[in-house]
Amino acid sequence: MVMEVLVETQNIRKSYEKQNLFIKKREQVSAVNGVSLKIQKGCSIGLVGESGSGKSTLGRMTAGLETPTEGDVLFRGRPISNISLRKMRPLRRNIQMIFQNSSSVFDTSYTVGESIAEVIKNSEQVSKTECLEKIETILEQVGLDALYAQRNPKELSGGQRQRVNIARALVLHPEFVVCDEPVSSLDYSLRKQILTLLNDLRNKFGLTYLFITHDLNCVPYVCDMMAIMYAGKIMEQIDLKKKSMQDALHPYTNLLLSCIPAKMPSERKKCTMESIIDTTVIPDSRHCCRFFPRCPYCTERCINEEPLLKEVASGHFVACHIV
Ligand SMILES: Nc1ncnc2c1ncn2[C@@H]1O[C@H](COP(=O)(O)OP(=O)(O)OP(=O)(O)O)[C@@H](O)[C@H]1O
């Protein structure tokens, strides 16, 4: 069966200008460094990597909230990166984002209902009664009583606020949702509840997720594909319907896996990276493996030639010369 590609990034790059306080000069920071990704309709792809690897920047570009410096993002085969606001408006309801920090994304001068109503009214003309019905329905779908519409976000717990956040993103029934660390600000006990909710909503509405996280533990719960990002590049991609996370081959993915605290010490993946010196030095070159300064298996070739993402088994892609 041929699956429909809903979102595609075509070798996208994003650099920012930053003031270097030490040398008192402006310099370029490459946040995303040539990422080509196809997200199939109904798929949930987990984008994993450490802080600063470019996950959120990639997420914002796929959501059309940021323009790539190079390359393009396609939604249903149509480029969306450089289109006018007028052309983007009808697409906006189809592409939504759930943000990381549930408390700071609300305007506390609005009630929960008013903040959901704002999203609805920005996208369609509805009567007051229709709007109220939509608000009540979506609140119930995210597991909150309709009465929460009258509450102020300040009066809600972190978990309830994140449910409202999800309600705002889903009230227009989008097709594609970028979830940027949706559970990282929550207690461990609440994380599973929100992940279960995201799964249920995905099944109910046939949603497609780009699920950004630095926590590999979340991935098997919500994702059927995993992409590992390092220094703005995808290092490994695994179709979790065909292979498990533990089948990872890239030294960086194995480093991340070795950091997951296992329930039983015997289940812990052995860290093969004892020799790694954790350094923040990332080579600013398009002609080498960006992981080479941290890789114990680094060869001359890794310093001189950038490894491309290659299929090593069905549904399993790795960008590493030694694999
Ligand atoms: N608006 C911006 N202006 C300048 N630099 C930025 C901007 N946004 C991101 N960056 C830089 O781009 C790089 C990637 O940042 P990004 O937030 O995408 O990473 P991340 O993997 O999502 O990190 P985290 O998990 O900490 O959110 C970082 O070096 C960051 O400082």
Does some domain include residue 293? yes
How many angstroms separate the alpha carbon of residue 294 from the centre of ligand 1?
20
64: left (phi over 0), alpha (psi -120 to 50) or beta: left
- When pLDDT is averaged across residues 22-49 and rounded to a whole number, the result is 90
Ligand 1 near 59 CB (within 6 A): no
Separation between Cα atoms, residue 268 and residue 260, nearest integer Å = 8
Quick check: CB of 33 below 6 Å from ligand 1? no
For residue 96, being part of any structural domain is answered with no
Where in the sequence is the domain holding 263, given as residue range(s)? 248-323
Nearest CA to ligand 1 atom 24: 51
Give the nearest ligand 1 atom to 57 CA. 18
Distance (Å) from CA 277 to ligand 1 centroid: 23
Residue 131 belongs to a domain: no
* 213 membership: H or E segment, kind and range: strand 208-213
pLDDT of residue 85: 83
**Amino acid code (one letter) for 254:** N
Looking at 112-269, list the stretches that DSSP marks H as alpha helix, in order from N- to C-terminal side. Answer: 112-123, 128-141, 158-170, 188-205, 219-222, 251-258
Residue 241 domain-assigned (yes or no): no
The number of folded domains in the chain is: 1
280 lines ligand 1 (CB under 6 A): no
With 70 as the cut, is the pLDDT of residue 265 above it? no
Interface predicted TM-score (ipTM): 0.97
Is position 268 within any domain?
yes
**Poorest-pLDDT segment among 15-19, 22-26, 257-261, 295-299:** 22-26
Average pLDDT, the chain: 89
- Global pTM reads 0.90
| 307 in a structural domain | yes
Would you say residue 60 lies in a domain?
Answer: no
Q: Is residue 257 part of a domain?
A: yes
